[in-house]
Amino acid sequence: MGINGEFFSAIIPAAGSGDRLGQSIPKSLVVINGKTLIQRAVESILPHVDEVIIAAPKDFELEISGLFSDNKKIKVISGGEVRSKSVAAALSQVNQNADYILVHDAARCFATQAQTMRVIDALLAGDHAVVPAIEVVDTIKVIDANNFAESTPSRSSLRAVQTPQGFSAQILHRAHQSGNDATDDAALVEALGIAVRVVPGEPNAHKITTPADLEWAKRLAETNE
């Protein structure tokens, strides 16, 4: 068993294409300074969990499995066409004894183990849902259908949410059984009326989505490694 005798599972939905990244291969297999995004993402959570389930892109399951062939804690399955389906597919494979489940994005592969532990510590302290997040530095405008600004929310109450996100296993299963759609798992939990704790995130846990993001990630790796 994992930390404090609790069983921790982790899910990494990694079935996204590399189209927006300007790549001809799945995003999770893009290499930065000798390591794929999926390898880096796994490194940030593996020491703190009992199992990792990766939802891989169709036809790339064997390639991703080969990256982790020497680690029995890691299981690779076929992902879905969209993120929510990949998470649902991975949830069906989670150990039935799991107490907590972390959901981590392969594209946030520079999140540190310290960030993972902040999420885990909050779960062990009694929170049922935890997300890391950073303060928003840009002014945000709410716009209407005609692209006119409607309002300007205060930045003091805004946060940009990252991963890994952590949940009580029972609650995450309930959230995905609801049939609701959302851009992250915490939003599904919020829809159940369950409080979501926010813990400090990290600037380098930025989501790698565009070619500019990829160049930033390469510079970061070259500087720090």
CA–CA distance, 175 with 192 (Å, rounded to integer): 7
Is 141:149 a contact under the CB 8 Å cutoff? yes
Helix, coil or strand: residue 123 = helix
Q: 207: buried, middle or exposed (CB in 10 Å: 19+, 13-18, 0-12)? A: middle
pLDDT of the chain along its 225 residues, tens only? 668 789 999 999 998 877 778 788 899 999 999 999 999 999 999 999 999 999 999 999 999 999 999 999 999 999 988 888 899 999 999 999 999 999 999 999 999 999 999 999 999 999 999 999 999 999 999 999 999 999 999 999 999 999 999 999 999 999 998 777 777 899 999 999 999 999 999 999 999 999 999 999 999 999 988
Distance of CA 157 to the CA centre of its chain: 22
| The model's pTM | 0.94
Q: What letter does residue 147 receive in the DSSP assignment?
A: S
CA–CA distance, 116 with 132 (Å, rounded to integer): 9
**H-helix or E-strand spanning residue 36:** strand 35-36
CATH 2.60.120.10 fits 3-224, yes or no: no
Average model confidence (pLDDT) for the chain? Answer: 94
**Degrees to nearest 5, angle at CA 204 with 157 and 200:** 40
The domain spans of the chain are 3-224
- The count of other CB atoms within 10 Å of the CB of residue 76 is 25
